[in-house]
Structure 1
Amino acid sequence: MALAKPPVQDNAYAAALALLDRVPLIDGHNDLPYVIRKDAKAKGDVAIYDLSRVHAEVDTDIPRMQAGKLAGQFFAAYVPPNHPKPAGFALAQIALMRAILKRHADAFRPGLSAADVEAAKAEGRIALFMTIENGSALDNELDALDAYFDLGVRLMTLCHNDSHDWCDSATDAPRNNGLSGFGKDVIRRMNRLGMVVDLAHVSPKVMHDTLDVTAAPVVWSHSNAFSLCDHPRNVPDDVLDRVAGNGGVVMATFVPDFISQASRDWHRPAKDQYGKTPEGMNYAKVEAEIESKVGPRPKATVAGYCDHLDYLARRIGHDHVGIGSDFFGWVNPDGLEDTTTFPNVIAELIRRGWSEENLTKLAGGNTLRVLRAVEAAAG
């Protein structure tokens, strides 16, 4: 991975920078804590990793987040599927994020409510929201949600790439025909606490089950439109058609295989029937074999990404679209290489005729509305 290419310096890009100076920009998903955890040198030590310097080998650090004009960032405590000690792993990742907040208080403030984003914007800092990515972290204990909330967690992705005891994944065989009874209790408890329900990674049946149960808006923190790219992690139209009624937000993601159908199709030999990499596969070797047979992997682009935003805005309305990069130190689309590139999205949409009102909603306004609604529904 290399640093982002210089942006197109035109009137649209200048206008994008000016807009993001005025309004808060929120990114719904970033896996930096896991990147730090698996870094060969740092091994989860925030001080050794040193976020204050540019890490050109990946995509996220403080200098580039600031250059990208972020005011709010949702960081994930990712829990690998089938981890033998999911709660312990989640707690270790939460501790890592708390260490980021302590060591880099000049750059971050705790993100506990919508008000923290606005305060961070005024201070020139970034509101760091802690999330859990994979509800297996509960260890099937409903009260664990209360403990995670008290530690500062404000969003939970219900599962990851594998189904678990109470929630079916979009990329695995179903085990519960959607949400189990316990899973529905999880939604109700999250509503009561004021924790955002995240439907990225879940099966369409879980999406519908959740929309039937929830008393608050939900989000898809890093998912795109299935109609434009048929990856199972993307959101089908019959679900999209329920988003406005819920008041939720689909935060479109930068993952190439979720943007580009050509990239998705190129990767099929490296994926199982559910669209994920089989456990133990030598991914680099398989990719090299694919390239030798059919040529280089097709690239996703910022223009292709904005096609998803256009589609979502037309289908569900400008009030229900956001940004969820899913930066995790891997290959990213052209024009979306790292956290400096968020203004490229705004600039491309300005070129397409999006109004300042709708750009403000996309950048962070819709996410702030969801946060306020979730807070109001709690109790």
Structure 2
Amino acid sequence: MALAEAPVQDNAYVAALALLDRAPMIDGHNDLPYVIRLDRNAKGDVAAYDLAKVHPEVDTDIPRMRAGKLAGQFFAAYVPPNHPKPAGFALAQIALMRDILKRHSDAFRPGLSAADVAAAKAEGRIALFMTIENGSALDNELDALDAYYDLGVRLMTLCHNGTHDWCDSATDAPKHNGLSAFGKEVIARMNKLGMVVDLAHVSPKVMHDTLDVTSAPVVWSHSNAFSLCDHPRNVPDDVLDRVAGNGGVVMATFVPDFINQAARDWHRPVKDQYGKTPEGLDYAKAEQEIERKAGPRPKATLPQYCDHLDYLAKRIGHDHIGVGSDFFGWVNPDGLEDTSVFPSLIAELIRRGWSEDNLEKLAGGNTLRVMRAVEKAAA
């Protein structure tokens, strides 16, 4: 994976740097803990991985996070669907993130509330917020939420690419017609604790069910607009039309297949009817066969990503959008290659005529507002 190309050094880029000097930039989703877990050398050892150096083979490390002027980062304790020991795996990933905080305290500050973002920015550090990506980590025990909260988890994505015991996934066969009764109890307990509910990965019916019962704003930590790209992980218009009423935020993501319809269509031969890769498929070999028949994979680009932001801003308002990269060491869009690119993103929107106020909302203001509202609802 190549490093991001040198940004265009025009007036818009200079203005973007200045804006991010005063306003916090928050990324709603990054899978670095799983990348470290899978690294063939580190194998989950934070010290062996050494985040202080640039890792050109992937997209996230401390030097490039600093270059991207991040003030807050949500890191995911991702739990693979159908994992035989989901709680244990989630705890191992939480332990990994706590080790990042311990070993790199010069770069990261524990993120436990919205106030930690401003504090981290004042210190020249990044607020590290721990999340769980896949509610199967509860092992169907509601009180497990309390334990995760006490460990520092402040957001949970209700499911991943597979439907589990209480939540239907956007990329799997439904079993519950949305949220089960227990799933609705999960939402209530998260509201009570002050843990952000994340609807990335869930089916549209779960989105509606959650919006019906939640007492606090929710987020989509890494999802785009379905109307521009019909991946099932993106948010349909009938759901988008309820976001403002909830006070929530859709954090647009960098995943190419969620941005560019051509990239989504190119990958269809290696996806099942629900849009996910079947278990056991040799993905690399399957992609080679697609390329032989259909030509090279279509790229997604920074301007195409900004088209999603423009659409969301028009549909749900500038108060309800954010950024959730979903960096996970894979193929990224041209112009959005790694964690150094956030100033380039802001610069592109400046060229499109976005106001400073709306840019500050997108960068982190809206996410902070949701966090404060979630904390207030719990209190």
TM-score, scaled to structure 1: 1.00
Q: Which residue identity lines up with residue 52 of structure 1 in the other structure?
A: A
Distance 1:65 1:222 in 2: 18
Q: Which residue identity lines up with residue 236 of structure 1 in the other structure?
A: P
Structure 1 residue 298 displacement after superposition: 0.6
Question: Which string of whole-angstrom CA distances, capped at 9 and with x for unpartnered residues, describes residues 142-193 of structure 1?
Answer: 0000000000000000000000000000000001100000000000000000
Residue number in structure 2 paired with 1:135: 135
Correspondence list, 1:217-256, <5 A: 217-256=217-256
Residue number in structure 2 paired with 1:91: 91
Residue number in structure 1 paired with 2:26: 26
Residue number in structure 2 paired with 1:175: 175
Distance 2:330 2:307 in 1: 22
Correspondence list, 1:195-274, <5 A: 195-274=195-274
Structure 1 residue 8 displacement after superposition: 1.2
Q: Which residue identity lines up with residue 28 of structure 2 in the other structure?
A: G
Distance 1:344 1:141 in 2: 43
Structure 1 residue 13 displacement after superposition: 0.8
Distance 2:91 2:268 in 1: 34
Distance 2:362 2:165 in 1: 34
1:280 aligns with 2:268: no
Query: Which consecutive unaligned segments of at least 5 residues does structure 1 have?
Result: none
Q: Which residue identity lines up with residue 73 of structure 1 in the other structure?
A: Q
Structure 1 residue 104 displacement after superposition: 0.2
TM-score, scaled to structure 2: 1.00
Residue number in structure 1 paired with 2:186: 186
Distance 1:107 1:63 in 2: 10
Distance 1:293 1:14 in 2: 44
Residue number in structure 2 paired with 1:41: 41
Correspondence list, 1:216-365, <5 A: 216-365=216-365
Structure 1 residue 257 displacement after superposition: 0.1
Question: Which string of whole-angstrom CA distances, capped at 9 and with x for unpartnered residues, describes residues 298-345 of structure 1?
Answer: 100000000000000000000000000000000000000000001111
Question: Which string of whole-angstrom CA distances, capped at 9 and with x for unpartnered residues, describes residues 248-299 of structure 1?
Answer: 0000000000000000000100111111111111111111111111111110
Q: Which residue identity lines up with residue 34 of structure 1 in the other structure?
A: Y
Question: C-alpha root-mean-square deviation of aligned residues, in Å?
Answer: 0.4
Structure 1 SS opposite 2:70: coil
Share of identical aligned residues, percent?
87
Structure 1 residue 2 displacement after superposition: 1.0
Residue number in structure 1 paired with 2:111: 111
Distance 2:277 2:238 in 1: 27
Give the length in aligned residue pairs. 379
Query: Which consecutive unaligned segments of at least 5 residues does structure 2 have?
Result: none
Q: Which runs of 4+ in 1 moved over 6 A?
A: none
Distance 2:193 2:294 in 1: 51
Distance 1:18 1:271 in 2: 43
Structure 1 residue 52 displacement after superposition: 0.3
Q: Which residue identity lines up with residue 221 of structure 1 in the other structure?
A: S
Question: Which string of whole-angstrom CA distances, capped at 9 and with x for unpartnered residues, describes residues 71-90 of structure 1?
Answer: 00000000000000000000
Residue number in structure 1 paired with 2:120: 120
Correspondence list, 1:149-164, <5 A: 149-164=149-164
Distance 2:91 2:151 in 1: 9
1:366 aligns with 2:360: no
Structure 1 SS opposite 2:74: strand
Structure 2 SS opposite 1:71: strand
